[in-house]
Chains A and B, each alone.
Chain A
């Protein structure tokens, strides 16, 4: 029952990622076509355009949300693939713990960075 719940969350996270990562891809990789959220000249990923987006609360919140759901979706997917090798219960537990620690660690790092650059961008510390 618990695994069914995890699998349902995995699918739900996939739908959220489709929207948020779709938006991310359209901004970053179709920037020359769409020119979305990139008011400064040059590439959509330039320092100035990155700082512009980092200064918007919408992007800070969606970065953190995308970070969380994408880490869950990706690491749970990896766990599912590994479990198909019929591992011993102790190995399964170790795999789960390692993936959980990696996921929480990267979520912490990414969240801290998103909040930190938001503060930097709104105070204009980097011009």
Chain B
């Protein structure tokens, strides 16, 4: 079996967070990771808290500990993180599978970058995320009641 060649990550943590000269897609990817970590942290706690309902403990209902406004705000932030992470995730899967990156062309000067071909997909996904977020905000602000 072929061994995977390992490259040293000489940039360390900056290698995670630095977008360098790369386009907005690279920053979208960094935000994708940050929102993913936030959702994961919430999710691990969410499993424990919601499992307590097996003992008849509902901490999120009216009068419960997690029904306080600060936690409602936190929930909305998780919703916002999900809206972004999901829509950007669809973009990443499509690009990974070779969609929306354009066809290979001869490298003739002035060179064209496939990033410009990807840009409309990023914009479309971000519009969808904003629409989803607006619906969540409408509910969060109590306007739907």
Chain A interface residues (CB < 8 Å from chain B):
1, 3, 11, 14-15, 17-18, 21-22, 25, 29-33, 42-43, 45-47, 50, 54, 67, 70-71, 74-75, 77-78, 81, 84-86, 102, 106, 109-110, 112-113, 116-117, 120, 126
Residue B93 interfacial (CB < 8 Å): yes
Closest to B48 in A: A109
Beta-carbon contact of A29 and B86 below 8 Å: no
Residue B50 interfacial (CB < 8 Å): yes
Complex Cα gap A65–B12 (Å):
35
**Known contacts A25-B79, A29-B136, A113 near B36 by CB under 8 Å:** no
**Known contacts A14-B89, A84-B16, A113-B51, A30 near B82 by CB under 8 Å:** no
**A-B pairs with beta carbons under 8 Å apart, 14 shown:** A3-B4, A11-B96, A14-B89, A21-B86, A25-B82, A29-B139, A32-B144, A32-B145, A46-B62, A74-B44, A81-B33, A106-B44, A112-B51, A113-B52
Chain A: minimal CB distance from B26 (Å):
14
Report B-chain residues with C-beta under 8 Å of the C-beta of A30. 135-136, 139, 144
Beta-carbon contact of B139 and A74 below 8 Å: no
Beta-carbon contact of B86 and A22 below 8 Å: yes
Complex Cα gap A118–B19 (Å):
47
